[in-house]
């Protein structure tokens, strides 16, 4: 019998197929359906730092900086009562999910500073979270804020949360850093139990009729996986922390590639929104068929087999791939 079992954040999972934060993990019915379809764990929708610390004067000042000059800016921020309700709903969902399903429930916190919401991390633990994922989405807009300052604040955030948390902590990273291996090493030293590679970068679109910047969201495709594979393969073997891949995981082949790059687990959202929770069962069936055809008995056998340290030629992970890719491209004549 093929063994898909893996471990992640100290949790024993039946497979590497995890449902990441999204609409399906935001309801008890959705979580039940995901478990029935074979999800090994779920990550709840993020609780934003603003939800926890909006009442604090310093954060309130930061959030409203510039809104006096542009009243429309406040339209991106729900009012405090909305935040409070989301907080209560999140805790209730977490507690109910722990009672209703057997798979691990991972809570998600979205923020960039430590002090404001350490208290809430404790509440998540009390509500039953098996682990916490720090979704560290931060977009610097000031030309006075250096990359070093941003990284140092992130490392300090992880250290402070780890000092106060009693459950494992994963750090969901953006790909927008100068040296991802350097940052990963310091996050590892700060105590991160896992790194989640990578947060998707949501950018506003421009409405040329209303002359406004408007939110824009497009579901991922498998093409987005390549960036994740690249950095997972480079980081694998150099960290104590485990690696999870999220973004662009749609098919069994995507899952196999991520595991071979060095991931412990893979996370899906877009594929589940497109095909429904039952897509997990389809992907799992195809993984098992592939393993049978290629004589694998356990998923752990392939982990890291295509990492930078495992392949004979590491140039695809360095400048060699850039040079080879561009030099081999040829212009195609348009069809007549």
| Per-residue confidence in pLDDT tens, the chain, 336 aa | 899 999 999 999 999 999 999 999 999 999 999 999 999 999 999 887 665 555 444 444 444 444 444 444 445 444 545 445 667 888 999 999 999 999 999 999 886 555 656 777 788 899 999 999 998 877 777 888 898 998 998 898 899 889 888 999 999 999 989 999 999 999 999 999 999 999 987 778 999 999 999 988 889 999 999 999 999 999 999 999 999 999 999 999 999 999 999 999 999 999 999 999 999 999 999 999 999 999 999 999 999 999 998 887 777 777 656 566 666 766 666 665
pLDDT recorded at residue 18: 98
How many Cβ atoms are within 10 Å of 130's Cβ, its own excluded? 18
Q: Which position has the token pair 């804020």?
A: 145
- Cα(169)–Cα(305) distance, rounded to whole angstroms? 26
pLDDT recorded at residue 59: 41
pLDDT recorded at residue 68: 47
pLDDT recorded at residue 169: 95
- Cα(83)–Cα(47) distance, rounded to whole angstroms? 9
Strand, coil or helix: 170: strand
pTM: 0.84
Closest CA to 299 of 8, 102, 43, 20: 8
Separation in Å, CA 61 to CA 55, 70, 87, 176, 250: 10, 15, 21, 26, 41
Determine the Cα angle at 95 with ends 27 and 50, to 5°: 75
pLDDT recorded at residue 116: 55
pLDDT recorded at residue 49: 64
End-to-end CA distance of the chain, in Å?
54
Strands annotated E in the chain? 6-8, 11-13, 17-19, 41-43, 47-48, 105-110, 131-135, 169-173, 194-197, 205-207, 212-214, 242-246, 265-268
Residues in a beta bridge with 171: 134, 195
CATH tag, 6-310: 3.20.20.70
The token pair at 285 is: 């069936």
- Cα(245)–Cα(265) distance, rounded to whole angstroms? 7
Determine the Cα angle at 208 with ends 206 and 209, to 5°: 130
């Amino acid at each position: 019998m093929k063994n898909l079992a893996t471990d992640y954040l100290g949790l024993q999972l039946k497979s590497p197929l995890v449902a990441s934060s999204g609409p399906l993990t935001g309801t008890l019915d959705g979580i039940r359906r995901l478990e029935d379809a074979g999800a090994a764990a779920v990550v709840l929708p993020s609780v934003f730092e603003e939800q926890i610390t909006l009442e604090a004067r310093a954060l309130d000042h930061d959030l409203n900086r510039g809104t006096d000059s542009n009243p429309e800016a406040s339209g991106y921020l729900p009012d405090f009562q909305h935040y409070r309700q989301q907080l209560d709903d999140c805790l209730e969902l977490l507690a109910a999910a722990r009672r209703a399903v057997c798979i691990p429930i991972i809570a998600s916190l979205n923020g960039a500073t430590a002090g404001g919401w350490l208290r809430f991390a404790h509440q998540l633990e009390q509500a039953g979270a098996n682990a916490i994922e720090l979704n560290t989405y931060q977009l610097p807009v000031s030309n006075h804020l250096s990359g070093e300052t941003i990284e140092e604040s992130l490392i300090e955030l992880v250290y402070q949360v780890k000092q106060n948390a009693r459950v494992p902590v994963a750090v969901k990273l953006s790909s927008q850093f100068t040296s991802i291996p350097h940052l990963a090493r310091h996050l590892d030293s700060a105590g991160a139990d896992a790194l989640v590679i990578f947060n998707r970068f949501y950018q506003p679109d421009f409405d040329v009729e209303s002359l406004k910047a408007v939110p824009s969201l497009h579901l991922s495709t498998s093409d987005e996986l390549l960036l994740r594979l690249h950095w997972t393969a480079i980081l694998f073997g150099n960290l104590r922390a485990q690696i999870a891949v999220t973004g662009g995981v749609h098919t069994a082949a995507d899952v196999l590639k991520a595991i071979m790059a060095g991931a412990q687990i893979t996370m899906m959202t877009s594929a589940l929104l497109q095909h429904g929770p039952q897509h997990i069962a389809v992907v799992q069936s195809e993984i098992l068929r592939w393993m049978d055809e290629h004589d694998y008995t356990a998923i752990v056998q392939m982990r890291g087999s295509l990492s930078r340290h495992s392949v004979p030629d590491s140039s695809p992970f360095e400048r060699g791939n850039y040079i080879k890719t561009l030099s081999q491209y040829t212009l195609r004549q348009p069809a007549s």
